[in-house]
Amino acid sequence: MTYWNKHYECMPREELEKLQLDRLKKTVERVYYNVPFYRQKFQEVGLVPEDIHSLDDLKKLPFTTKQELRDNYPFGMIAAPMSEIVRLHASSGTTGKPTVVAYTRSDINIWSEILARTLTCGGTTKNSVIQIAYGYGLFTGGLGIHYGAERVGASVIPISGGNTQRQLMLMEDFGTTVLACTPSYAIYLAEALEKSGRDRSKFKLKYGIFGAEPWSEKMRSRIEKSLNISAIDIYGLSEVIGPGVASECQEKKGLHIFEDHFIPEIIDPETGETLPMGEKGELVFTTITKEGFPVIRYRTRDITYLTKEPCACGRTHIRMHRVMGRTDDMLVIRGVNVFPSQIESVLLDMGETNPHYLLIVDRNGSLDELEVQVEISEAMFNDKVKGLEGLEKKIQSKILSNLGISAKIRLVEPNSIPRSEGKAKRVIDRRNI
């Protein structure tokens, strides 16, 4: 069995929990004294940093939500002086404003460390040639994995996403052994490879590191078979650090959460009550080593369950089941987070008071497709086809510029989208993941 950092990854649980408590106390102190938002929230429940005596006391701390991160745009949640911040990343936002996350030099160091562990889990060594086809830029995927791969000492190809023919050319010519990208792009690459007529036996690809969108066991076996590789699932979110929060080992029986840096909890999304180990609920994270952007009990909205059962790989860290769903209606389409409310605000901006719409997500071959059905209203309607087609194009380009995703727009008759009592059904997900 290969580990990147056996000392921490296989630390006896008692010792690990002692370390967690020590680090938790420091983090609570850090946010209390450096982030007015946290201080105020702690004061509201009458809590001071000295009240944390055990890991169980975590329950006393208030939750942090995505909305609160947004409300404190851009730098309100940063817990270190800006002079200490060496990197900023951002994720797409519902109102045009992104969620900003910040890293100190130590945070980048930690991030590289946990990604080195992740990549080692996935089969990467210093002899590997790793092709990083996650997007580089404000998105944490590309650069996060990049630093981890350099830490391992692999030869890094920072190719970023897209340009499939060039991906295949370099994969063959450079002798890529590890591919890191979204699972749907992996399938797309496999299909393109098949079509290209290139000789698979000339490729050296052995391992895949896939994440950033939901996928299934079925999809894994398809990717593994078509690319003839061993593929692991990785988990992360920029609010916590980016990729590298958790990773499968070669046992492929759940993702080890790197608990010396993040404390996971599962809560009942309705009541906020902490659920016992093994029960399914919303995943919540507290970072315990980050300086720039620590989060306290951050609600991920991802649904899963945890297990403390020892893993055959020897790692002692808690495992999470691959993400089973969401507590909100967020969709991940081609790696892009899409909330129906974002589409709604685009439609509202077009001068409509009460837009009725339906999102239909489908997977055509290996690529996700989004169709937005919009009920035409009298105000939008006119007798010219040109005008209606122009309207479709206008909605399409607004969605593209606001959400970064291209959608097919279909105008439908008034009252043709089913109305429901209470929460409207806005999404039909036909993807069979």
Contacts with another protein, residue ranges (CB under 8 A): 376-378, 380-385, 388-389, 410-416
Q: How far is the CB of 210 from another protein (least distance, A)?
A: 35
Q: Identify the three-state secondary structure at position 373.
A: strand
- Which CB sits closer to another protein, 199 or 378? 378
- Which CB sits closer to another protein, 126 or 410? 410
- Which CB sits closer to another protein, 279 or 389? 389
With left for phi above 0 and alpha for psi between -120 and 50, is residue 299 left, alpha or beta? beta
- Which CB sits closer to another protein, 162 or 414? 414
- Which CB sits closer to another protein, 379 or 400? 379
Q: How far is the CB of 414 from another protein (least distance, A)?
A: 5
Exposure string of 371-406, with b = 16+ CB inside 10 Å and e = fewer, is ebbbbbeeebeeeeeeeeeebeeebbebbeebbebe
What distance in Å separates the CA atoms of residue 271 and residue 253, rounded to the nearest whole number? 29
What distance in Å separates the CA atoms of residue 336 and residue 137, rounded to the nearest whole number? 14
- Which CB sits closer to another protein, 173 or 413? 413
What distance in Å separates the CA atoms of residue 97 and residue 91, rounded to the nearest whole number? 9
Beta strands per DSSP E along 72-113: 85-91, 99-104
- Residue type at 169? M
Q: How far is the CB of 385 from another protein (least distance, A)?
A: 5
- Which CB sits closer to another protein, 7 or 385? 385
- Omega before 74 cis (within 30°)? yes
62 phi/psi in degrees, rounded to 5: -70, 155
Residue matched to tokens 């020590």: 22
What distance in Å separates the CA atoms of residue 327 and residue 339, rounded to the nearest whole number? 12
Q: How far is the CB of 68 from another protein (least distance, A)?
A: 41
Q: How far is the CB of 407 from another protein (least distance, A)?
A: 14
- Which CB sits closer to another protein, 75 or 381? 381
Q: Identify the three-state secondary structure at position 84.
A: helix
**Pair 346, 374: CB distance under 8 Å:** no
- Diameter of the chain by CA atoms? 73
- Which CB sits closer to another protein, 51 or 389? 389
Q: How far is the CB of 336 from another protein (least distance, A)?
A: 24
Which is nearest to 336 in space by CA: 135, 155, 195?
Answer: 135
Residue matched to tokens 């369950």: 305
Q: How far is the CB of 392 from another protein (least distance, A)?
A: 9
Q: How far is the CB of 235 from another protein (least distance, A)?
A: 39
Beta strands per DSSP E along 252-353: 255-257, 262-267, 281-287, 298-304, 306-307, 319-320, 325-326, 331-333, 336-338
Q: How far is the CB of 371 from another protein (least distance, A)?
A: 10
